[in-house]
Amino acid sequence: MYTCPICKCNNGTEYSVPWDYGNVSKFQELNRKFTYIKCERCGCVYLDEMKNWTPEQFSKYIYNSDYAKMDSGYNGDRAKKLFSYIYFTLSFYHFNSILDYGGGKGHLVDLLKFSGFKAYCYDEFDRKDIDISKQEKFDICTAIEVLEHEFNADKLWNKFKSFVKVGGMLICSTDYSDGKDISSWYYAHPKAGHVLLYSGNGIMFQAKKFGFKYIGDFNAFNILCHVFQKVSE
């Protein structure tokens, strides 16, 4: 039985998606179709068969030396596109501290540090500037192209709640599943590690559940970002 990681509904529609979209993978055991489930209640889409993968499996098959080939913005291009927007938000609200969670090699953080902000990167599979277990609170937490990589949505959003001060902001980017043909949608891509694809309703449900209020969206050079303010502990 399937269970949606957002609304816990057990009903959904199956979509078969290839691991590698026609490219030849060095991991022959994964050259097959994977099944995404679209929840009939909240519209979120999830890759159920990866929900129990270990960090070692993700490191071997996805977050390896070839990952940048799957994500063209990983090596700094995305950070350059987002920098001015994040800089403006920090300055406008007189914020100073920021955690870029899942920030890869820390390109965005390096740009913000150079501009005088107290900025840190934490990525489970890459750069770790701080020990997140110490639960330091930040004015802003960014999670750029992170939500779709974590199946356990409650675990991830609980981290966001622990990182952000009351009155502070969460800025996350992810594309919505609403109206998409899952079988051919580029975001439904197992090799990219996209295990949970949010609908508009799904992300609002999670935000409210963990004490965040929706502020608005902005589009930074085709990077769709969602802004939330933490209103309660």
Q: What is the pLDDT of residue 26?
A: 76
Encode pLDDT of 139-153 as tens digits: 999 999 999 999 999
Is the model's pLDDT at 25 over the cut of 70? no
pTM over the 0.75 mark: yes
Kindly tell me the burial class for residue 14, based on how many C-beta atoms sit within 10 Å of its own C-beta (0-12, 13-18, 19 or more): exposed
If pLDDT is split at 50, 70 and 90, which confidence band does 23 have? low
**Domain assignments of the chain as residue spans, ordered by start:** 12-230
Q: Which fold has domain 12-230?
A: Rossmann fold (3.40.50)
CB count within 10 Å of CB 203 equals: 23
Element (H, E) at 209: helix 200-209
Task: State whether the Cα torsion 104-79-135-166 is positive or negative.
Answer: negative
Q: Which strand ranges, in their side-by-side order, compose the sheet holding 33-39?
A: 12-18, 33-39, 45-46, 196-197
